[in-house]
Amino acid sequence: MGTIWQDLRYGFRMLWKSPGFTTVALLALALGIGANTAIFSVVNAVLLRPLPYRDPERLTLVWWSAPKLSLDQFPASAPDFVDWKTRSGVFERVAAFKGASFNLTGGNEPERVQSAAVSADLFPMLGVQPRLGRAFADEEEQPGHEKVALVSDGLWQRRFGANPGLVGQQVALNGESYTVVGVLPPNFNFPEGDTKIDLWVPLSFDPKEMSQRGSRSLIVAASLKPGVTREQAGVGMNLLAKRMAEEYPATNADWGIQVQPLTEAITEDQRPALLILFAAVGFVLAVACANVANLHLVRAATRHKEVAVRVALGASRLRLVRQFLTESVLLAGVGGVLGLLLAVWGVDALKAVLPSDVPRLEEIGVDASALGFTLLVSLSVGVLLGLAPALQRTRPDVAEVLKEGSQSVAGGLRRNRVRAALVIAEVALALMLLTGAGLMLRSFWQLREVSLGLDPENVLTMKLTLPAQKYEDASRQTAFSEQLLQRVMTMSGVASAAITTSLPLSDTSMTDFVVEGHLRQEDVEDQIGAYSSISTDYFRALRIPVIRGRAFNEQDTEKSAPVVIISETLARAYFGDEDPVGRRIKTGDGDEEGGEAKAEGKGENKDKNNAGDEEQEQGKGGADEHPWMTIVGVVGDVHRFGLDEKLKPEIYFPYRQQPGTEMALVVRAASNPSGMTAAVRREVRAVDAEQPVYDIETMSQLLSESIATRRLSVVLLAVFAALALVLAAVGIYGVVSYSVAQRTHEIGVRMALGAQGRDVLRLVVGQGMILVCVGLLLGIGASLAVMHTMSSLLFGVSATDPATFACVSVLLAVIALLACYIPARRAAKVDPMVALRYE
Amino acid sequence: MISLRNVEKFYEAGATKNYVLRRINLDVAEGEFISVMGPSGSGKSTLLHVIGMHDTAWGGEYFLDGQPVHKLGKKERAELRNKTIGFVFQSYHLLDHLTVYENLEIPLSYRDTAKRERQSVVADALDRFHIVGKKDLYPTQLSGGQQQLVGVARALIASPKLLLADEPTGNLHSSQGKEIMELFKRLNDEGTTIIQVTHSEQNATYGSRIVKLEDGWIVNN
Ligand SMILES: Nc1ncnc2c1ncn2[C@@H]1O[C@H](COP(=O)(O)OP(=O)(O)OP(=O)(O)O)[C@@H](O)[C@H]1O
Ligand SMILES: [Mg+2]
């Protein structure tokens, strides 16, 4: 034990005595380990740590999939859900989930609350106990039962002042009275990573819903029976799907079932980016290690003599190895502690900039497992760093070294070869990181080039959801929207204002449609489009160009003939160069006589995350549910799903002909509109004092949020690549400097024999650049091999984009040249006399 | 061929100047074979390095082949030197990680000689110095005499008009030394101007003239 102390003390002294080496090594290690710990903390919280539910590995989401319709992970209808629940045989519990929203009134400001209607089974399935009160009872699922609700911890604190007496009280939701039966524990959300849900009500199905097998909008979660694997469940469910296809051919032919682990479902969006980042910081650490190892070897050369003397004095091999290991582990340990500090700071910074749709964001932190990870990494780095030189250094030919005297041939070929290999590895790794960052950067630039299709500058948006009870019929909805628009338009600073039922970059509403004279095609993609109902000024407010025909006007009323405006993409797909104005289109799949179930659905498959938003979908029952509508105009395409998504056909209805309770208000101001929020709110309140607004954002904000994840990945990757570049440059500089120092005599002799400055420059730079070139070639080869794993993160650029490869290679080569040039210039200034005098 | 006028060199030690060469005036005609002698520390090597243009920090005037060296820039000096001078070092200064062949090739590689020509010139030299069999060996695998032989061969490889040799036989047996001296004599007969530093009276007899240095002064002449 005593000797270990001695080793430690000696190790500290050695590090203290070479402050230059220690500073550079600690900096490199701290950056490498810090970046790893920070990203590990995120990866751990988001991807690795088990979900905070009971038996999370048994939890799954169950989806429809219809490969023939290229539909994947599709929600279920109410009768589907009941079939799955009662007939699967592989699940212990099956629960359905449907997003909703309520206007919470009474007390202060009216508020729109993100809500969900869920099966009573959900909470016992997840093993979640309310912190106050109770979860739902089975009978509360029955239609007509007394209305009850659970509130989130957040809402309880915020809205109800954490009042423990809330349980049992009544609250007003959409104008109806609900009894609060419990308060859920802090941070509970389901499904993780989606909208934060503040209010939960039991999910019940009325007879109408139970008859609509084609109307698929429920997210279904299920826990596997003990002993049943996910694969077995998949097989079992697909057998059930086959039987259901026979029983209900009209709605269920061609539909299979997909059983997806809940963990995967929650993390799949973030997984590729996070794993790439994790790999990137791994590379950074590897470059840092190669760097420190190199510095270590330089020092080893200078300590040759010390080792020889120690051996001559009787030190055992083991003792020497231990001494060197102690030193390097000490170094890595201190580096690790500094790295940890960096990571704590880095994680805070990361959490501040991570987009809010990253699941389990609030769980991210430098915790025990991050500490363990850092410890493990530091220890391995320390041992790795120490072992190689330790083994090399403790095997010297004692007689040789002592005889050699101070002017040793320092290092010898073998050590130089190790050092060369380390530099090559550094360059190759740095190149891979640069390539990754370069590709992401190119993607980002490409994305910025994409035109959104509307002008987001100076546009304020906010959402409103009219309570269905209060605004039951279309005329009331229209009246509300028109009053509101009239008031907003007269506000000072407002250029124009409009209403839409589906805000670009925010909402998703999809519908099947049929163009008159066109049979439904095999290519389904062109037969599903986005739709929204808009007020007359919508295109003007967002500056979406009208390409043919006209925009909607005051003559398009509920009494006039139904009209639509279509997007350019739709027009091109169906009409080519012909003028679509005057032609007709209708929603639905056009197969009205094909059976009741099919005729039912407007085929709406709102994005599954927002599936519930259509809860208030307007009843358009009756025979004329899908009337033919005349196309009166064609407008420019809008990238409403995000700049990186493919354009889809889009259909606009006049709000007056197809009103709805969910709407967004868009206000174009003369200048920056962010200060207008309060004024607009006042106008809403003036129309209906109980009507809340929510999701108030400028269009520019929406746009910037839509690329937030991408921007963050680009920035992080670029930072890591820059780090690797700097470390590699330092590594190259170190190796070349060292070799110049080693070769002073040779350079002097060469100069005495006629070499001029440029010859020496060429000699030294050439030697360094050979390593760099080998590293570059290896790096390019490796990049070609692995970059395809990034494809899903790229946009508009191939994973083997030659321009990017060329640019990053040139960048790295130039930096490397500089790193070689500085010591080479020193070499060129060697005074031959100094070298020759050394006689 | 060489004309030194009031050449001075000193090292600064604190505030004082230690003169190593003092007002050296020396003329060497083409075809001469001069031996520089003097006690250790008298400035012989220094003088040779000044003439060989390895040393640039000195005062006075130095004409080589009619060119005022003291007025030439770094580049021009290097060119003049590469064209005119070959140098044999007191302690060989062969490069350990290059073979005999490669060592001989170095001066040529800095004189823009074509690869093919280099090959034939080096082959000639190997032949002339009877070291063909050693061409792939490394300097450490040679005896001291053989190493100095390579050193001489290297100094002569670019056919200099002026050969400077700093104690070329200092580390050698008398018989090996004699061989080198005979070689110098032959070279001198063929027209090469030679300035050698030597301690040995016997070696000095090969030369045509002796220059004696003492404490930085030329004492005879
Ligand atoms: N870098 C230096 N700084 C200070 N003094 C130096 C330096 N180099 C040489 N000298 C001094 O210059 C003087 C001349 O040295 P030089 O090597 O020319 O002597 P030498 O005549 O060649 O001696 P030897 O016969 O031992 O080779 C010596 O006194 C030496 O101490
Ligand atoms: Mg000398």
CA distance B211 to B221: 6
Q: Give the confidence band of A602 by pLDDT, cuts at 50, 70, 90.
A: very low
Distance from CA of A400 to the nearest CA of B (A): 15
Interface of A with B in 383-442 (CB under 8 A): 409
Q: For the segment A383-413, what is each residue's pLDDT rounded down to a tens digit? A: 888 876 666 655 555 555 444 433 333 334 4
Is 90 exceeded by the pLDDT of residue A53? no
B48 and B38 Cβ atoms separated by less than 8 Å: no
A64 and A216 Cβ atoms separated by less than 8 Å: yes
Least confident of A231-240, A255-264, A388-397, A398-407: A398-407
Nearest CA to ligand 1 atom 3: B11
Classify residue A408 by burial, with Cβ atoms within 10 Å: 0-12, 13-18, 19+.
middle
A139 and A171 Cβ atoms separated by less than 8 Å: no
pLDDT at position A194: 61
CA distance A572 to A426: 51
Is 70 exceeded by the pLDDT of residue A176? yes
Interface of B with A in 55-74 (CB under 8 A): 55, 74
CA quadruple A749, A754, A759, A763: dihedral sign: negative
The residues, ordered by sequence, that sit 6+ positions from B14 with a Cβ below 8 Å of its Cβ are none
The vertex-A89 CA angle with A86 and A91, nearest 5°, equals 85
CA distance A340 to A342: 5
Domains within chain B, CATH numbers bracketed: 2-220 (3.40.50.300)
Q: Taking residues A291-305, report their average pLDDT.
A: 76
Q: Taking residues A57-84, report their average pLDDT.
A: 88
More confident position, A243 or A386: A243
CA distance A148 to A202: 7
Is the pTM above the cut of 0.95? no
Q: Give the confidence band of B91 by pLDDT, cuts at 50, 70, 90.
A: confident
Counting ligands in written order, the one closest to the CA of B13 is 1
More confident position, A460 or A609: A460
Alpha-helical segments (H) within A743-756: 744-752
Chain B CB contacts of A414 below 8 Å: none
A517 and A717 Cβ atoms separated by less than 8 Å: no
Q: Give the confidence band of A296 by pLDDT, cuts at 50, 70, 90.
A: confident
Of B49, B82, B95, the CB nearest to A754: B82
DSSP string, A390-455: HHHHTS--HHHHHHH-SS--TTHHHHHHHHHHHHHHHHHHHHHHHHHHHHHHHHHHHHHHS--SS-
Q: Taking residues A727-747, report their average pLDDT.
A: 86
pLDDT at position A250: 82
What's the per-residue H, E or C state across A256-284?
Answer: EEEEEEHHHHHHCCCHHHHHHHHHHHHHH
Is 90 exceeded by the pLDDT of residue A540? yes
More confident position, A351 or A783: A783
- The 3-state DSSP class for residue A233 equals helix
pLDDT at position A424: 93
pLDDT at position A526: 67
Mean pLDDT comparison of A100-109, A193-202, A352-361, A647-656, highest-scoring range: A647-656
Q: Give the confidence band of A213 by pLDDT, cuts at 50, 70, 90.
A: confident
Please write down the long-range contacts of A304-307, taking CB distance under 8 Å and 24 or more positions apart: A304/A393, A304/A396, A304/A401, A304/A408, A304/A410, A305/A401, A305/A402, A305/A406, A305/A408, A307/A393, A307/A394, A307/A396, A307/A401
CA distance A566 to A531: 9
A797 and A442 Cβ atoms separated by less than 8 Å: yes
pLDDT at position A452: 92
Q: Taking residues A716-735, report their average pLDDT.
A: 89
Q: For the segment B53-77, what is each residue's pLDDT rounded down to a tens digit? A: 988 889 999 999 989 999 998 889 8
The residues, ordered by sequence, that sit 6+ positions from A506 with a Cβ below 8 Å of its Cβ are A461, A463, A664, A695, A702
pLDDT at position A590: 59
**Token pair 């009978």 is at which residue?**
A139
Give the residue from chain A lying closest to B45, CA to CA: A837
For residue B46 and ligand 1, the question of a CB distance below 6 A is answered with yes
Of A753, A756, A833, the CB nearest to B106: A753
Query: Residue A759 and residue B52: Cβ atoms within 8 Å?
Result: no
Neighbours of A549 (CB within 10 A): 17
In 3D space, the residue among B197, B204, B162, B211 whose CA is nearest the CA of residue B25 turns out to be: B211
Tokens representing A741 are: 């120092």
Exposure b/e, A220-242, CB count within 10 A at least 16 = b: bbbbbbeebebeebbebbbebbe
Q: For the segment A544-594, what is each residue's pLDDT rounded down to a tens digit? A: 999 999 999 999 998 999 999 999 999 998 888 889 999 999 887 655 433
Q: Taking residues B166-190, report their average pLDDT.
A: 87
- Dihedral in degrees, nearest 10, Cα atoms A147, A153, A154, A155: 20
